[in-house]
């Protein structure tokens, strides 16, 4: 059986004993109380990741609409949306390394992933950015 985010296996007794003594890092897990929570557990993180991507795209679009005029050049739209979405995708991760002791190597990998996601988001916005009529 695979142990991970989608696993329903109970923790081993040795881990539970160490957690009770306070010598190991604690885990937070909530029981499934709603249909949405059961769906999230059944489908693993994919719906949550899609929702997060959608929220980041909406916020990056809001920032772009507030700062970039229609008909702007591709690089300018890419720059604004890319910066906004990279901040959202990648800049919360260093806090895990600072406060939770996660390895910095994983932080750099997550930040690279965030850069890839931000580039895809920025490219989509710049490609579909409205053109000025008659130009």
Backbone φ, ψ for residue 66 (5° rounding):
-75, -20
Share of the chain above pLDDT 70, in %: 66
pLDDT at 2: 47
Q: How confident is the model at residue 122 (pLDDT cuts 50, 70, 90)?
A: very high
65 and 36 fall within a common domain = no
Backbone φ, ψ for residue 75 (5° rounding):
-65, -35
Of 119, 114, 117, nearest in space to 94 by CA: 114
129 and 77 fall within a common domain = yes
8 and 55 fall within a common domain = no
Domain count, the chain: 2
pLDDT at 48: 79
pTM, rounded to two decimals? 0.66
86 and 96 fall within a common domain = yes
Cβ within 8 Å of residue 100, ≥6 positions away: none
Sign, Cα dihedral of 97, 98, 101, 104? positive
62 and 127 fall within a common domain = yes
Residue 88 belongs to domain spanning: 45-135
Comparing 1-5, 22-26, 98-102, which segment has the lowest mean pLDDT?
1-5
Instruction: Please give, one letter per residue, the 3-state secondary structure of 60-78.
Output: HHHHHHHHCCCCCCHHHHH
pLDDT at 47: 77
130 and 99 fall within a common domain = yes
Kindly report, residue by residue over 52-84, the tens digit of the pLDDT.
Answer: 999 999 999 999 999 999 999 999 999 999 999
90 and 113 fall within a common domain = yes
Q: For the chain, what is the mean pLDDT?
A: 81
């Amino acid at each position: 059986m695979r142990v991970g985010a989608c696993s329903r296996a109970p923790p081993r007794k040795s881990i539970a004993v160490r957690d009770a003594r306070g010598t190991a890092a604690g885990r937070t897990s909530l029981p499934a109380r709603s249909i949405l929570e059961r769906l999230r557990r059944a489908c693993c993180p994919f719906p949550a990741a899609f929702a997060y991507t959608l929220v980041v795209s909406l916020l990056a679009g809001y920032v772009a609409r507030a700062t970039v005029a229609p008909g702007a050049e591709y690089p300018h739209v890419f720059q604004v949306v890319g910066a906004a979405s990279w901040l959202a995708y990648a800049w919360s991760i260093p806090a895990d390394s600072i406060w939770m002791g996660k390895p910095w190597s994983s932080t750099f990998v997550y930040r690279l992933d965030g850069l890839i996601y931000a580039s895809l988001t920025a490219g989509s916005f710049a490609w579909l950015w409205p053109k000025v009529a008659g130009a």
